[in-house]
Amino acid sequence: MNKEVFFVKPDFSIFDVAKVFAKSDISGAPVVDKGRVVGVVSVSDLTKFMSIKLADAEAVMSNPSSLSILLLNFARFSKDSVGFKKEISRISKTKIKNIMSKSVVCIGPDANLFEAATIMDKNDVNRLPVVEKGKLVGVLSRADLLKALVE
């Protein structure tokens, strides 16, 4: 497990977390409040939230059915660029606590690799916060499992 754990707090904004994920090349982190794991957030959570909020803009840019529709939609977004900018600003203030996965699957520090792999597969998660006496002491990822197998 990784003992030097990057974690986020529930009141961090989604943009701040996205920047850290991108800069640090990590794909998820536990959400910790007052020393307790209260959730988990991943790149998938961020992108899912953004794709829902910006679905109209994404549809226009990624799949215009014709040049005419593309131009009409572009004109619509151009006229409402102030509204679009306000929506981006509003989204940027969204807190992690509003999009994190709240049902956290954790593991204890004494669990073996087989137990960890089974829990990850059963719950379809890519990382497990390692918790001892209610406190976060590490994170175990699928990549950590693979490293342990080949070392």
- Kindly give, in sequence order, each residue whose CB lies less than 8 Å from that of residue 117, ignoring residues fewer than 6 positions away: 145
Is the per-residue pLDDT at 58 higher than 50? Answer: no
pLDDT 10s digits, 113-151: 999 999 999 999 999 999 999 899 999 999 899 998 887
pLDDT more than 90, % of the chain:
44
Q: What is the mean pLDDT of residues 10-22?
A: 90
Q: What is the mean pLDDT of residues 62-80?
A: 52
> Confidence class of residue 67 from pLDDT cuts 50, 70 and 90?
very low
Full-model pTM: 0.74
